[in-house]
Amino acid sequence: MRDNKLEKTYTCAVLASVELVGGKWKTSILLHLRNRTLRFGELQRAVDISQKVLTQQLKELEKDGLILRRVYAEVPPRVEYSLSTYGKTLQPVLEALHSWGSAHCVRTSPIKPATPSIKEQEVLSNN
């Protein structure tokens, strides 16, 4: 198993950040958890990810202190995931990445990105 990134020493803050939330799936998982708690199956459908990969990514995010895993003593078992207080500190960073990514898509392609901004998504989910 890999080392806990919270205990690792870094010489570059940007590299530390990218190592913590980088990769194909982690930002998507964090975005889906930003406003609500989700069960494993809900998260798997929302992210469109295999069970094995989602399990691995969730374990890493939990170990790094970015998400919380709550297990209920029920049959069948119910497990819910949410952002930790520490994970919530990433929200402005994710919004900035979304804005930059949208500008990048416009710059490199005449097609507008399909996903609304995080703030637009919040408005849509509240309606």
Per-residue pLDDT tens over the stretch 72-118: 999 988 999 999 999 999 999 998 988 898 888 888 876 655 666 66
- Which structural domain, as residue segments, surrounds residue 75? 1-84
CB contact at 8 A, 92 and 34: no
Q: How far apart are CA 93 and CA 41, in angstroms?
A: 26
Number of domains in the chain: 2
Mean pLDDT across the chain: 86
Give residue for tokens 């898509």: 105
Domain end residue (candidates: 84, 99, 116): 84
Burial class of residue 105 (count of CB atoms within 10 Å of its CB; 0-12, 13-18, 19+): middle
CB contact at 8 A, 82 and 35: no
Q: Residue 125: pLDDT band by 50, 70, 90 thresholds?
A: low
| Secondary element (H or E) of residue 78 | strand 78-83
Both 121 and 80 in one domain: the answer is no
Both 72 and 113 in one domain: the answer is no
> Average pLDDT in the 29-39 region?
95
Question: What is the pLDDT, as a whole number, of residue 114?
Answer: 62
**Encoded tokens for 37:** 């708690």
Coarse DSSP helix, strand, coil percentages of the chain, rounded to the nearest 5 percent: 55, 10, 30
Both 76 and 100 in one domain: the answer is no
Both 61 and 34 in one domain: the answer is yes
Is residue 46 predicted with pLDDT exceeding 90? yes
Both 6 and 44 in one domain: the answer is yes
Both 10 and 62 in one domain: the answer is yes
What is the share, in percent, of the chain residues with pLDDT greater than 90? 54
Question: What is the pLDDT, as a whole number, of residue 1?
Answer: 41
Q: What's the CATH code of the domain at 60?
A: 1.10.10.10
Both 75 and 114 in one domain: the answer is no
**Encoded tokens for 103:** 């500008």
